[in-house]
Amino acid sequence: MEPESTDNSIYVVNGMHPCYKSHNTSYIFASNPSIICLLLCIFLGSLSVVTICGNLLVIISVIYFKQLHIPTNYLILSLAVADLLVGLLVFPFSMAFTVTSCWYYEGLLCKVRGSFDVTLSTASILNLCCISIDRYYAVCQPLSYKRRINDCVIGVMIFVSWGVSALIGIGIIIAGFNQGKCEESCLIDALISTTLACIFSFYIPVIIMLCIYLKIFLVAQRQARSIQSTKYGATVSKMEKKATKTLAVVMGVFILCWTPYFLCIIFQPVTRDQTPVAVVETLNWLTLSNSMLNPFIYAFFYSWFRSAFKLIISGKIFQGDYTNSKLL
């Protein structure tokens, strides 16, 4: 089935899409893709596979090893589930759009892709918000931490995060935001129409998290000076600071990956020139890569996650009961 030449002319001519070829005065999807097109498909497919495998390691680790059954790790588990769903659901749709320019079933593709994008990105950032709250009580109010942050509270946090995210994602479809067609650059129109959603699902939560982590940093500095005299206090302080530092890095990487995308969205309506689809697609893939990076951050900072990953990858957990293993 060949596309109409007008469907993708703007995208292809302006962006010189590697998966299209010139045919008379129009551009059509190449039946025999070029090497660059094949490499693009392989690269994007590899990102999806790495994202799925990396987050599966995190999910299996937290569920299987009892040592990792702590409130903070349950929030990390929820974040990993969001990242896993990005690899399973968002990557294929985004890859289809990147390769075919929203050619097949553009209406449904754009709606579903937009809904998944918004739902899972909102879920990620709300989970990060919950993690920052967990870290606030762990560092700023350590004596009441176990009483305030228990499994029930964590469960409510996770439920609210996913519930709000789903409502926002479904709301975008119900409100008819993602109604653009390919010849109208459906992705660009969707980005412009969701500016208000971006403010509530990205900018406000990020500002809240930055304020919380600034407060944590100031309190941690003050606590470090006051408890250095005791060995136990110093050990606890070191552990909490390391956990806070790691999760702050996770949030920092999230902001670095997502900020360019959301800045593009927020400033698009006030600019006269339309942002090239190739630029928006590049920024979109930068945001998606964040879901791939989080497991590597955990492995780099946490020795027990590295130990858990090794046991899973080597297949030892299938050869015996390692649930109570001491992860170093």
Assigned domain for 181 exists: yes
pLDDT at 82: 93
User: Which pairs from 259-267 meet CB under 8 Å and 24+ separation?
Assistant: 260/286, 261/286, 261/287, 262/198, 262/202, 262/203, 264/191, 265/191, 265/192, 265/194, 265/195, 265/198, 266/195, 266/198, 266/199, 266/203
User: Which pairs from 81-85 meet CB under 8 Å and 24+ separation?
Assistant: 81/55, 82/120, 82/123, 82/124, 82/127, 82/291, 83/51, 83/54, 83/55, 83/124, 83/290, 83/291, 83/292, 83/294, 83/295, 84/51, 84/52, 84/55, 84/56, 84/59, 84/291, 85/116, 85/120
Assigned domain for 35 exists: no
Q: Please tell me the distance from the alpha carbon of residue 327 to that of residue 312, in angstroms, as a whole number.
A: 12
Amino acid, res. 186: C
Domain containing 282 equals 47-313
List beta partners, residue 21.
Answer: 28
| Residues 297, 169, 104, 22, CA torsion sign | negative
Assigned domain for 145 exists: yes
Assigned domain for 39 exists: no
* CATH code, domain with 90: 1.20.1070.10
Assigned domain for 280 exists: yes
Assigned domain for 16 exists: no
The position carrying tokens 């955990």 is: 298
Number of domains the chain is built from: 1
List beta partners, residue 26.
Answer: 23
Of residues 32, 21, 67, the one with CA closest to residue 325: 67
pLDDT at 81: 95
Q: What is the pLDDT along the chain (328 residues), one digit of tens a residue?
A: 433 333 444 444 444 566 666 555 555 555 566 787 788 888 888 999 999 999 999 999 999 999 999 998 999 999 999 999 999 988 887 887 777 665 444 566 667 777 787 888 889 888 988 988 998 888 888 888 888 999 999 999 999 999 998 988 887 677 655 444 444 445 554 454 456 667 777 788 888 888 888 888 788 777 666 765 555 555 556 666 666 777 778 878 888 888 888 888 777 666 656 667 777 778 888 888 888 988 888 877 788 888 899 999 998 888 888 888 888 7
Assigned domain for 328 exists: no
Assigned domain for 324 exists: no
